[in-house]
Amino acid sequence: MAKKVLLVDDSTTTLMMEEMILKQNTNYECFTAKDGVDAITCAVEHSPDLVLMDVVMPRLNGFEACKHMRAHSELSRIPIILVTTRGEEDYVATGFQSGCNDYITKPINSRELVTLLHSYLGE
């Protein structure tokens, strides 16, 4: 059975690019959500094996959505990778404090993304 990945970003351009990269390089099944609130709803509905989530989003940002997921009994163990524009120490620390497992910086490189996801989900 294909592993399920939930892609979360308010930018349709980014969602499109991420989905294209994963479809061409992996057998993962992709779902998309456009902000943190949608992400939680979608995660409860589809039980993804991993969440790849942007930080800056309307309604509920990536850090907050991450905290909500960690506090949710059904979502607390799902690996969460945050997509950030900044890789500075403080910013990354905030991400880990919110409960994320890893992070990747923009602009996304396909090889880096696929390698990172393989490390959590296998090929």
Partner 1 sequence: MAVVMKGFMELMHELIEKLAAQQDPGISESLTARAKIYAARIRLQHVVDQADGLDAIREIAANLIGCEQLAVYKVDHSAAALWLYWSFGIDPNQYAVLDAVKNPNLKEVLTGSIVFAAGDRSRNLLAVEDHVSAIVPIIVSDAVVAVIVLFRLLPQKTAFDVADRELCRVLSGSAGRAITPPATKLTKGNSSARE
How many residues bind partner 1, per CB under 8 A? 25
Bridge partners (DSSP) listed for residue 4: 29
Tokens at 55, concatenated = 């930080």
Binding-residue pattern over the window 23 to 52 for partner 1, x denoting contact by CB under 8 A: xxx------x--------------------
Figure out which of the listed residues 19, 29, 64, 102 binds partner 1, where binding follows CB under 8 A.
19
Residues 55-84 that bind partner 1 (CB under 8 A): none
Rule CB under 8 A: is residue 17 a binding residue for partner 1? yes
Q: In a 3-state reduction of DSSP, which class is residue 76? A: coil
- Interface with partner 1 includes 12 (CB under 8 A)? yes
Which spans in 1-123 are helix H? 12-25, 36-46, 62-71, 89-97, 110-121
**Residue whose CB is less far from partner 1, 21 or 78:** 21
- Position among 20, 44, 71, 93 found at the interface with partner 1 (CB under 8 A): 20
- Contact between 104 and partner 1 by CB under 8 A: the answer reads no
18 and 52 Cβ atoms separated by less than 8 Å: yes
Say whether the peptide bond before residue 107 is cis (omega within 30 degrees of 0).
yes
Distances (CA, A) of 48 to 3, 26, 42, 44: 7, 15, 9, 8
Rule CB under 8 A: is residue 93 a binding residue for partner 1?
no
Interacting residues toward partner 1 by CB under 8 A = 9, 11-17, 19-21, 23-25, 32, 85-87, 105-111
